[in-house]
Amino acid sequence: MTQPPRDPAVTCCVVGGGPGGLMTAYLLARAGVDVALFETHQDFDREFRGDSLHPGTLELLDHLGLADELLTLDHYRARYFRLHTPTGSYTTTDYGRLRTKFNYVALMAQSAFLEFLASKGSELSHFTLRQSTRATGIVTNKDNVVTGVRYQDGQGQEREQPAKLVIAADGRFSRFRRLADLPARPLGASSDLLWFQLPKRPNDPPDADVSLYFGVGHYVALLGRTNSWQVGYTIPKGAYAATRERGVEPIRAFVEQYVPWLSDRTSLLTDWSQITLLSVEIARVDTWHRPGLLLIGDAAHVISPVGGNGILMAIQDAIVTANVLVPRLRNGGTVDSRDLARIQNEREPAIVAVQRMQVRVEQRTALTLQTGKAFRPSPAFRLFTRVPYLRGRSARANAYGPRTPRLDPTLLA
């Protein structure tokens, strides 16, 4: 069998140009580590990817000197998170109470964020971005240590990229997770989301920001953008085919009943082609690494949309990865399984805490929707939402996540 052509070796090869992969590649390259980043698509434009840049993410970007320029791009600053039920509306989270210059969640098209980060990475001499490049396999040596990536270039030619370390950040359906035989263990998800867009209008509620509207059997998630609303309609897991067969009319009717101020534009939802299915998953790999290979982001731990903190978790994976790897790799050194295990050991407790919270929310919401009755908040919940201090605590927990890692400042010296 003919050996594919081999590229010059790099220190690290990152597979997947999502938030975790791009930030990892950027931090390593900025610290002087040679990185090649492989992205299958020719651009970063995907429908209904996560758009939430939390204060923790914005503070990191500010530390890197990137936040001010990033925030000149189109974005919407969300201060509140609210629940709306037939019995009343409740503010659970107020980011305005945070003591930071970024006391909001920036809702920005993920493609804009990724394109910005990729452009900044491309200014670094140690950073190589290869788009339209499909990573197809792992290369191993006689000791079964991963030593590189097999890929198809833009012309479909098979090639190999040797690397001291491969970092797989290729998402919830990670090919490299399967190739490495590191299966993800499902933790429990009971619903899926149907996403579509509706236009914003001048008389829309100014404080809608990020909201959930509960009705009988379903709820609607609403995310603000400068000129549009992202609308998510929840369905039971496995009900996509039956829901699609019924068409868009039941979805329009539900929105009109429970989000009545959108009724003047629901007629714009006319065809199923306007709807994107987001399959909600919560899963985690027991071991995130094998010799020569590390999984991060959704490749290692699938985060559901609950809390909107998938990007935050992936970015924090990148911070810990850089903190551990840069001192080992910057001066021509190598990493071993103890280094990769340290990354998992530092990040896993936070991931476990977030996923446990998501599973609890999923289970409680599913039980409520299955009863066929509208969600009715408990007296304790209603009291919680009336206390400003508690709304601030909720904001802080969501803004930074548990066990918040900080980038080692010596890495950029």
| pLDDT at residue 46 in the model | 65
CB atoms within 10 A of CB 44: 21
Strand order in the sheet with 276-278: 88-94, 80-85, 210-214, 219-224, 228-236, 191-199, 276-278
| pLDDT at residue 246 in the model | 94
Cα–Cα distance measured from residue 330 to residue 34, given in angstroms and rounded to the nearest whole number: 8
pLDDT tens for the chain, 413 residues long, are 567 888 899 999 999 999 999 999 999 999 999 999 999 888 777 655 668 999 999 999 999 999 999 999 999 999 999 999 888 899 999 999 999 999 999 999 899 999 999 999 999 999 999 998 899 999 999 999 999 999 988 788 899 999 999 999 999 899 999 999 999 999 988 888 999 999 999 999 877 778 999 988 888 999 888 888 999 999 988 899 999 999 999 999 999 999 999 999 999 999 999 999 988 889 999 999 999 999 999 999 999 887 788 999 999 999 999 999 999 998 888 899 999 999 999 999 999 999 999 988 888 877 777 776 777 788 888 888 999 999 999 999 999 999 999 999 998 87
Cα–Cα distance measured from residue 8 to residue 149, given in angstroms and rounded to the nearest whole number: 12
Q: What are phi and psi of 72, to 5 degrees?
A: -80, -15
Residue 264 DSSP SS3: coil
Beta strands, E only, 21-169:
35-38, 52-53, 76-78, 80-85, 88-94, 105-107, 127-130, 134-140, 146-152, 158-168
| pLDDT at residue 4 in the model | 82
User: What amino acid occupies position 10?
Assistant: V
Place of tokens 């929310």: 361
| pLDDT at residue 91 in the model | 92
Cβ(354)–Cβ(300) under 8 Å?
Answer: no
If residue 276 lies in a helix (H) or strand (E), which one and from where to where?
A: strand 276-278
| pLDDT at residue 154 in the model | 76
Considering only the top CATH level, what class is 10-50+109-186+282-359?
Answer: alpha beta
Task: Give the distance from CA 8 to its chain's centroid.
Answer: 32
Length reported for the chain: 413
CATH code reported for the domain at 74-107+191-236+238-278+371-402: 3.30.9.10
Q: Output the pTM of the full model.
A: 0.92
Q: Where are the domains of the chain?
A: 10-50+109-186+282-359, 74-107+191-236+238-278+371-402
